[in-house]
Amino acid sequence: MRTISVKAQKNEYLVVIENDFSNLSNRIGEIFSGKIAVVYDQNTHALFSKEINKQLENFKSCEIVFPAGEESKSLQSFEKLLCFLAENKFTRADAILAVGGGVIGDLCGFVASSYMRGIKYMSCPTTLLSCVDSSIGGKTAVNLPQGKNLVGAFYAPSLVYVSLSSFDSLPKREIECGMGEIVKYAFLDCSITCEDIKKGDREEIVVKSLEIKKKVVETDEFDRGERAKLNLGHTVGHAVESLSAYAYSHGLCVAKGIAKIIEVSQKYYGFSDEKKDEMLALLNCYPFDLDIEFSSERILEKITVDKKAETDAISLVLIKDIANVEVVKLPFDKVKELF
């Protein structure tokens, strides 16, 4: 068992990393004794509700299940969950426990931030991606028809409980999603090495990833500077995701995004081919299929199309060296030249 403590402006919370759920009841009991609304998607309900119910035997609890998938990250689900809390007479002394990936986590965090102006939010991230990314840092949101994450709040959890065995049931694509973020962390901080990635000791890479993200979000909880570095590979990655009509996993798209950023960074900083090969070797420590099938023009068009209405520049996270990245604001003409 490992624990990481994260300091947020309004509270300090523990991330507990265990092999299974057998300590969940004790961990919740350490911080809280009220009523719990357990929120699942259909998949996590089928997989984990029996174990979770056993853990919550000594708490008053009720549960609600949402369809699995991005559609549940909506204002409709937001309202449904708020009404569920009100119907079950939840007060400010009670809490929400999210059991799921990023969709359930983001939805529950946002509801917790606004129900009665804020109730406790606890989560069990059940995907590798949500565990190493959205579970800490307090970003919560739902989507609008006009775009993703357009409405939300910064709201820190009170407890994050990771059961590593919950990742055992994940398909390869889901593991790849998490690995894209983990390899990204290796570019931000040397504490994750190629050896760690190849060895694939889940506990080790989860703990190291969370330690890296913790450092960033403690420095810049409200995303005013430093935190933008977490977007490494994501601007290009999101373009590739959209161009592929979501055929590629998020993690693979982030990896493809980092590959492109390595190329762009070499042109921008003028580092040697040896340095570039060292970076590509780090990226290839996980066996991503990195053949980029979209032209620079198409990627560039996708990246710039939305921004062109408001601005003539774009911020990219560039790699000066491994563990040395920086956010660089570039005019479109310069971006075009570098791509």
CB of 114 to ligand GLY, least distance (A): 20
Nearer to ligand GLY, 28 or 108 (CB): 108
**DSSP one-letter code for 322:** T
Q: How far is CA 127 from CA 18, 24, 43, 319, in A?
A: 14, 17, 11, 28
| Residue (172 or 224) nearer to ligand GLY, CB | 224
Smallest distance from ligand GLY to CB 229, Å: 9
Tell me the closest approach of the beta carbon of residue 130 to ligand GLY, in angstroms.
Answer: 10
Closest to ligand GLY by CB, 6 vs 37, is 6
Question: Which C-beta is closer to ligand GLY: that of 27 or that of 234?
Answer: 234
Q: Which residue's structure tokens are 């690995």? A: 179
User: Token pair 């350490």 is at which residue?
Assistant: 30
User: Which residue, 139 or 302, has its beta carbon nearer to ligand GLY?
Assistant: 139
Provide the minimum distance between the beta carbon of 223 and ligand GLY in the complex, in angstroms, as a whole number: 6
**Choice between 52 and 136, CB closer to ligand GLY:** 136
Residue 49 Cα distances to 44, 82, 100, 124, 140, angstroms: 7, 21, 11, 12, 23
Minimum CB separation of residue 137 from ligand GLY in Å reads 4
| Pair 97, 107: CB distance under 8 Å | no
- Pick between residue 16 and residue 230 the one whose CB is nearest to ligand GLY: 230
The side-by-side arrangement of strands in the sheet containing 2-7 is: 2-7, 12-18, 159-163, 120-125, 95-100, 36-41, 61-66
Cβ closest to ligand GLY, residue 52 vs residue 314:
314
Question: Dihedral through CA 16, CA 37, CA 181, CA 308, nearest 10?
Answer: -140
- Minimum CB distance to ligand GLY, residue 152 (Å): 12
3-state secondary structure at position 294: coil
Minimum distance from residue 211 beta carbon to ligand GLY (Å): 15
Using CB under 6 A, list all residues that contact ligand GLY.
Answer: 133, 137, 139, 223, 227, 230
Q: Where are the beta strands (DSSP E) in 42-116?
A: 61-66, 95-100
Distances (CA, A) of 287 to 28, 174, 231, 252, 277: 38, 14, 21, 10, 16
Nearer Cβ to ligand GLY (18/133) = 133
Please state the closest distance from residue 70 (CB atom) to ligand GLY, in A: 16
- Cβ atoms of 266 and 325 within 8 Å: the answer is no
Tell the smallest beta-carbon distance from residue 155 to ligand GLY (Å): 13
Long-range contacts of 225-229 (CB under 8 A, 24+ apart): 225/327, 227/137, 228/315, 228/317, 228/327, 229/188, 229/317, 229/325, 229/326, 229/327
Retrieve residue 30's tokens.
């350490």
Report the interhelical angle of 102-114 vs 75-87 (nearest 10°). Answer: 60
